[in-house]
Structure 1
Amino acid sequence: MFNNEDSSVVKDRIQKEAQALFLKNGFKGTSVRDIAKASETNVAMVNYYFKSKYNLFEIIFEDALDVLTKRLFETINSELPFLELIETWIRTYYEILFEYPQIAAFILNEVSLNPEGLTQRIKKRNPYGSFCKIEQRIEEEVAKGTIRETPAADFLLNILSMSMFPFMFGTLAMTLMDIPLDTYNELIANHQKYVIEFTLNALKPNEETK
């Protein structure tokens, strides 16, 4: 419409540059003009392909959530031995967030700007089925005496918070500790081991109940 360049190439470039800008500057700190400049297009082209900045943000965020939920739900619904499943679950969080760090930034943005929208986005991916699966696995392991009595909701929240927090507040943490990104990434990689060990130790049965 605007030039001879293939429209799908232009659209993909706009989306890629918008994703990078949203990650770096946040939703509020990124303008359509910024996106147009970074993608070597213009404001009219951005609006033509994506209608609005928020619509573009939604598309990027939906793609990111698809990546996160698909791989996490596959792990949770697998038939891995329970403790191996928990370790794989935590590793999956870290692998995805290292690969797609914008997911944490996008979730944080939605928590502050549109919490109801975030809730609806997650609900439509049917997390309840996976929650029921992990709750069932926990109950089975408690009955066998391999783990202590553990409320499924608390357990899920613990894994979610310990895995997501380092990525959501990475910029703040790097500023407070006065360290560069490479050093912080190394710190998070080591932190993953701590989270796995902490979680598995917390599941061990009480001595008196053995």
Structure 2
Amino acid sequence: MFNNEESSEVRKRILKEAQILFIKNGYKGTSVRDIAKASGTNVAMVNYYFQSKYNLFEIIFEDALDIFTKRIFETIHSDLPFFELIEMWIHTYYELLFEYPQIAAFILNEVSLNPEGLTQRIKKRNPYGSFSKIEERIEEEIKKGTIRETPAADFLLNILSMCMFPFMFSNLAMTLMEIPSNIYSELIANHEKYVIQFTINALKPCENELKTEKATL
């Protein structure tokens, strides 16, 4: 039998190797036997510490989601000027997804296997306060005339989809474009700048809208 210190190290090793395998092969493409082999343990030990592959997956996913939501919500609640906030918000998505690529993979897996479970996971982290905050900021900017009429829900969906999609479907994108992962990473790093500029430009009133506003004053 392991002592407490050895047990803790074995558990950490299993978690680390499972995370790597889930990212590389996906949930379905990873077996308990694969995890046991990679971590230098055996199937019985993996089951002893985590009971099942799904329980192991849940622990890794929950840790990643905690990091992800905390950083995103902190950014949204900051007092940065609005366009700086948008830039930092998008940058935070890209920074986190480069650092924790398993988040995108795990979310995609949950959308496919357990959408209700994913909804509950996000709900328990209370996203409503952050949604209300960005809605308030948008309304303030609309009143000041710095941005056009923009529904907060649509805006949030646009940010989420533009930031998450390149990471969720990276394997498909690399296959279709016939490029290796290092080239794709460079492409995504440059794509962040495009998403920031695209988002800010889409928010700003066009010239005709500004002329109409001036004419009504």
TM-score, normalised with respect to structure 1: 0.97
Letter in 2 for 1:115: P
Distance across 2 between alignment mates of 1:54 and 1:96: 24
**Aligned pair 1:58/2:58, yes or no?**
yes
Give the fraction of aligned pairs with identical amino acids, expressed as a percent. Answer: 82
Distance across 2 between alignment mates of 1:45 and 1:96: 32
Q: Give 1:3 shift.
A: 7.8
Distance across 1 between alignment mates of 2:208 and 2:22: 52
Q: Give 1:164 shift.
A: 0.3
Q: Give 1:26 shift.
A: 1.0
Structure 1: runs of 5 or more not aligned: none
Residue 22 of structure 1 corresponds to 22
Q: Give 1:191 shift.
A: 0.5
Report SS of the residue matched to 1:28. Answer: coil
Q: Give 1:24 shift.
A: 1.0
Q: Give 1:5 shift.
A: 7.0
Distance across 1 between alignment mates of 2:206 and 2:188: 30
Residue 72 of structure 1 corresponds to 72
Residue 93 of structure 1 corresponds to 93
Distance across 2 between alignment mates of 1:3 and 1:179: 47
What is the Cα-based RMSD across aligned positions, in Å? 1.2
Q: Give 1:146 shift.
A: 0.8
Map 1:3-152 → 2, pairs under 5 A: 6-152=6-152
TM-score, normalised with respect to structure 2: 0.94
Q: Give 1:29 shift.
A: 1.1
Distance across 2 between alignment mates of 1:136 and 1:90: 18
Q: Give 1:206 shift.
A: 2.9
Letter in 2 for 1:49: Y
Greater Rg by CA: 2
Residue 201 of structure 2 corresponds to 201
After TM superposition, the runs of 4+ consecutive aligned structure 1 residues lying more than 3 A away are 2-5
Q: Which moved more, 1:112-121 or 1:1-10?
A: 1-10
Q: Give 1:203 shift.
A: 0.7
